[in-house]
Amino acid sequence: MLIKQIQPPAILSVSLADIKQWLKINIDDDNDLLTSLISSAQHYIEKKLNIYFIKQSFELTIGLDRWQNRIKIPLAPLISLDGFQFISNQLILTQDQITHEILDDNAETFLQLDIPPSLRENHNKLIMTISVGYGDNDTDVPDALRLAVKILASHYYSFRGDGQDQLKIDQNKWDYLIAPYMRLHI
């Protein structure tokens, strides 16, 4: 599977003003550093949870070497399926030409396809464009996740350049905040 980001998020999940208020900082000297630390903390948590906070779009290219009618969408939370093409050796079909349904069981999201049997040959490919995230605004992100970003970014800020212990953080401080958002695979 090839995943390509085609529209990055427009903003971060925690604003510069929010983190400055959280850290009780009144000067602008570290604004660039703080923005970078927010971005790093958000990215770390997004990767740990395999979810995205602010709306962004991706193109997924999935090789279907054997017939599959249920395709796992590996990015979450899904906002929308913006389009897809089913490509076989014979032709290209778009989402308007294929009966499809999004299936979400709270742990995983799937695209269910009803492809005609005559097209179920080897070496098919599916290209889909999806939008994921909680929404366009930082306030769309659950408060617990925003708080986890603040805690981690403030930890990075407090221990910048202070030696090897800088990456050690009390996991209990923010693990309990992000635990409800972990995608369980059973």
Instruction: Please report, for the domain that includes residue 144, its CATH number.
Output: 1.10.3230
Indicate the angle between helix axes 143-158 and 31-49, nearest 10 degrees.
130
Residues 60 and 49 in one domain: no
Is 12 among the domain residues?
A: yes
Residues 69 and 122 in one domain: yes
* pLDDT at position 77: 93
Percentage of the residues of the chain whose pLDDT score is greater than 70: 83
Q: How confident is the model at residue 67 (pLDDT cuts 50, 70, 90)?
A: low
Mean residue pLDDT of the chain comes to 86
Amino acid at 29: D
Residues 36 and 70 in one domain: no
Cα distance between residue 27 and residue 97, in whole Å: 57
Express each pLDDT in 56-66 by its tens digit.
999 999 887 66
Cα distance between residue 12 and residue 27, in whole Å: 20
Number of domains making up the chain: 2
* pLDDT at position 87: 83
* Cα separations in angstroms, 13 against 37, 114, 130: 12, 37, 20
**Owning domain of residue 166:** 2-53+138-181
Lowest-confidence range among 4-8, 27-31, 130-134, 163-167? 163-167
Cα distance between residue 41 and residue 19, in whole Å: 12
Segment 105-113 mean pLDDT:
81
* pLDDT at position 33: 96
Segment 158-179 mean pLDDT:
68
* pLDDT at position 106: 67
pTM given for the model: 0.84
Is 186 among the domain residues?
A: no
Residues 153 and 175 in one domain: yes
